[in-house]
Amino acid sequence: MTDSSVREFKMPDVGEGLTEAEILKWYVQPGDTVTDGQVVCEVETAKAAVELPIPYDGVVRALHFPEGTTVDVGTSIIAVAVGDGAAAAAEPVQEAVADTPAAAEAEEPKPAARQPVLVGYGVSTSATRRRPRKGAQAPAAAQEASAAIQAEMNGHGPAAPAAPAAPAAPVGGERPLAKPPVRKLAKDLGVDLATVVPSGPDGIITREDVHAAVSASEPVAAAPGSEPSTPAPAATATAPASYDTARETRVPVKGVRKATAAAMVGSAFTAPHVTEFVTVDVTRTMKLVEELKQDKEYTGLRVNPLLLIAKALLVAIKRHPDINASWDEAAQEIVVKHYVNLGIAAATPRGLIVPNIKDAHAQTLPQLAGSLGELVSTAREGKTSPAAMQGGTVTITNVGVFGVDTGTPILNPGESAILAVGAIKLQPWVHKGKVKPRQVTTLALSFDHRLVDGELGSKVLADVAAVLEQPKRLISWA
């Protein structure tokens, strides 16, 4: 098979400017036939989980990275034999480890009876060679120089060249099993993986094993009266603080969670937040929700209080359009948007995401119900696209679904306002001069005080409350 018959599919930029993505799951294996447009893997970017389709027909020749690996955009992740080479690739073959650092890091032997699944995975009898790492000859050179200097100091003249020292053999004669992040950690801490006792499944070295090796190698304080020993060389890296592995779990922050954390920190310390609150009687709104559920026009649509709250916010923005804006730091300008891309914060297994409904201001109530239903179901399935989370102008976060009364929400970066909706509860309320049980909730509006002053923010929040208290304003104010 010639190289011209093999196509390398590179990690695409699936999020407009993202630099890396983590491979979550492979849907194909070497030897599988693929067609143009077939999904071959699922990756997670800093914004969402995305399925990647292959752009040509052929037979999978190799997968270059295992699941769980973070790969830079533009790096080849799968090789596919196309054209005349596809027939040859379909025959069982044993792939040698690619002579690249990425393939070398991905090497982990599998049981002998299993066919190769990933580059570097396969039967242990394969003759695999890797080029020596940079600096591999440095210890031998240093030993030779040291021997020569010592000979001269002893008066014997220049010493004969020393034989290169053989590298230490790994424990058991095999390369220690560890994933790339663990290998990097060991390298940073100066730990030889061959000396680490593995505790993971199938003899895999974990991060905890590396930390334990560091702790074990720390010098013990000399006993009183003992001979002082020669000071050990300073460590190249400080060992991280130890923790109780039996009662603590460390979760790597990556993908959506990492991006969310960075965005929230940036927003909190860039935009001066102001939050205002209002408690409102929404009994009439709750009655309207029940009436709409019985309306044939809303059959099959998601009708709930969030639908009317979203519509109330859109009405308030129409009455006070200056709140729908963003701050341009470079130009020192306020950019007023003449459209509303309404963001809805959604909690997913991968973290908090905020997809938005494009041009929500132009949708009728039934259309808005359909858009909300699609947005929520797509988010729950983890299928929200990066494009759906870009370009938002204002956001709603419904903390009430968790039984929370209210909160002080942090702005989604680049937006001017975010409305938090608390739990709707039956509470005693003065209605028409008498205390009666009414459906009550608390709203909280956070806004960027650089472009939204207290008057504007207060008017918007008051209008949202007024619509929810008297839903007929949806007609008179719309």
Give the tens place of pLDDT for each residue, 172-228.
456 788 776 777 787 778 888 888 888 887 788 888 888 888 777 655 444 444 444
DSSP 45: -
From-to residues of CATH 3.30.559.10 in the chain: 255-476
Active site residue 449: yes
Burial label, 78 (beta-carbon count in 10 A; 0-12, 13-18, 19+)? buried
Residue type, 404: V
C-alpha 5: how far from its chain's center? 35
The active-site residue out of 211, 273, 431, 449 is 449
Q: What is the mean pLDDT of the chain?
A: 77
Report CA Rg, the chain.
Answer: 31
* Cβ partners under 8 Å of residue 287, min gap 6: none
From-to residues of CATH 2.40.50.100 in the chain: 3-105
Architecture of the structural domain at 168-218+236-242: Irregular (4.10)
* Location of structure tokens 């020569």: 148
User: Which tens digit of pLDDT belongs to each residue from 43-95?
Assistant: 887 667 788 899 889 999 999 999 888 888 889 999 999 876 565 555 544 44
Fold exhibited by the domain 255-476 = Chloramphenicol Acetyltransferase (3.30.559)
Look at residue 9 in the predicted model and tell me its pLDDT: 93
Fold exhibited by the domain 3-105 = OB fold (Dihydrolipoamide Acetyltransferase, E2P) (2.40.50)
- The answer to whether 474 and 312 have CB atoms below 8 angstroms apart is yes
User: Which tens digit of pLDDT belongs to each residue from 247-297?
Assistant: 888 777 776 667 667 766 777 767 788 999 999 999 999 999 999 999 999
Q: What DSSP letter does each residue of 228-245 carry, written as one string?
A: PPPPPPPPSSPPPPP--T
Burial label, 100 (beta-carbon count in 10 A; 0-12, 13-18, 19+)? middle
The DSSP bridge partners found for residue 209 are none
Look at residue 148 in the predicted model and tell me its pLDDT: 47
